[in-house]
């Protein structure tokens, strides 16, 4: 029988066994878990805005915003508050109920904390759930962001500990874990996942999920990204990961993180409608909407509406997606 509640004793071997199941058996297990924890036919919409683009001191091999690489991206200053609020209002009008703000920093500087806190307060006042990704955190910063109304802190592990130094060398894996710990101690929810297609092996994908599974409690949001190759970055020539491999990773995440959002994140622009549908049917229940994800393209609103319509899926507000207890369908929610 498939366990439908969180476990914190997953072994790497158990996750590997799941990952290597026949795809139909794997998705069947994933859907059994999903049906006990999440509403049928409901997909949450999030929108992501780059509030500070380019010039990052990190050398993440996948990132167009690194100052180490010539990608043609111009470094920009922190956006004015008014522009952020305008973008948040537009996101809400387009059906998003979660608004994420990303800044290309190695770490959040104390001088920028009040500005970011003001953005969080303003977005929260629009009735949106808030998330930020600002790099590494120092003592006390997470508490200030929490007090401003922040719900989630995004800080991805990217890949397995064994492969990490093939992706970035300006920080180490423990730096990531330390920032996650600071965010959690401040009472923030975590948005933490990884990227597939950076040249890693399947064993590295298993290792990433195992590292996430060791976090207690689990991240409330687990984004699964497909690498979007950026000309000028070291990983621009990486072999493209298959959509079926993406679906496998999503299905395993749904099983291992039964009460977490599993987000089909970057890479949708490179997928066919059928590929996106497979990933959603494998257990993802959240997507990013809007035509940009920080600096890369994303399907536009009409494309997403068409896909959701074909699948019979609808956007659902947070209150329509209960965790545990009695389960709702979209019909119940109406």
Report the catalytic residues: 56, 60, 63, 100, 131, 191, 263
Give the C-alpha separation, 59 to 194, whole Å.
Answer: 16
The SS3 call for residue 37 is: helix
Give the C-alpha separation, 154 to 102, whole Å.
Answer: 9
If you compute the radius of gyration of the chain from its CA atoms, what whole number of angstroms results? Answer: 19
Give the C-alpha separation, 41 to 147, whole Å.
Answer: 34
Instruction: Confirm if 248 and 219 have CB atoms less than 8 A apart.
Output: no
Give the C-alpha separation, 56 to 64, whole Å.
Answer: 9
Measured between alpha carbons, how far is residue 93 from residues 99, 126, 130, 261, 290 in Å? 12, 11, 16, 22, 11
List Cβ neighbours of 25 (8 Å cut-off, separation of 6 or more). Answer: none
The SS3 call for residue 60 is: coil
Beta strand 314-315 with 221-226 is: unpaired
List Cβ neighbours of 45 (8 Å cut-off, separation of 6 or more). Answer: 94, 95, 96, 97, 98, 286, 287, 288, 289, 304, 315
Cα 100–Cα 105–Cα 107 angle in degrees, nearest 5: 100
Give the C-alpha separation, 226 to 223, whole Å.
Answer: 10
Give the C-alpha separation, 284 to 105, whole Å.
Answer: 29
Q: Which of 216, 220, 271, 203 is nearest to 242 (CA)?
A: 271
Cα 160–Cα 163–Cα 164 angle in degrees, nearest 5: 80
């Amino acid at each position: 029988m498939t366990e439908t509640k969180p476990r914190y004793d997953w072994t790497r071997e158990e996750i590997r066994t799941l990952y290597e199941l026949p795809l139909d058996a794997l998705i069947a297990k994933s859907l059994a878990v999903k049906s006990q924890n999440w509403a049928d036919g409901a997909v949450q919409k999030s929108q992501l805005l780059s509030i500070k683009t380019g010039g990052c001191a990190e050398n993440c091999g996948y990132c167009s915003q690194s100052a180490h690489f010539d990608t043609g991206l111009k470094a920009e200053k922190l956006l004015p508050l008014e522009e952020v609020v305008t973008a948040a209002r537009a996101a809400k009008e387009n059906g998003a109920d979660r608004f994420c703000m990303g800044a290309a920093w190695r770490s959040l500087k104390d001088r920028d904390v009040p500005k970011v806190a003001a953005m969080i307060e303003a977005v929260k006042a629009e009735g949106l759930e808030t998330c930020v990704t600002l790099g590494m955190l120092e003592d006390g910063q997470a508490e200030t962001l929490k007090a401003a109304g922040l719900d989630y802190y995004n800080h991805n592990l990217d890949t397995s500990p064994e492969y990490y130094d093939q992706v970035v060398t300006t920080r180490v894996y423990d730096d990531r874990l330390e920032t996650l710990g600071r965010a959690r101690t401040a009472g923030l929810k975590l948005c933490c996942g990884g990227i597939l297609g950076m040249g890693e092996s399947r064993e590295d994908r298993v290792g990433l999920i195992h590292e996430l599974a060791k976090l207690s409690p689990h991240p409330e949001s687990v984004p699964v990204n497909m690498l979007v190759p950026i000309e000028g970055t070291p990983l621009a020539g990486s072999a493209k990961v298959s959509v079926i491999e993406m679906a496998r990773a999503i299905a395993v995440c749904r099983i291992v993180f039964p009460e977490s959002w599993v987000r089909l994140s970057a890479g949708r622009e490179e997928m066919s409608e059928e590929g996106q549908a497979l990933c959603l049917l494998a257990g993802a229940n959240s997507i990013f909407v809007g035509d940009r994800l920080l600096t890369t393209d994303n399907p536009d609103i009409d494309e997403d509406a068409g896909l959701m319509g074909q699948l019979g899926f609808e956007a659902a507000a947070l209150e329509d997606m209960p965790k545990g207890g009695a389960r709702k369908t979209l019909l119940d929610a109406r």
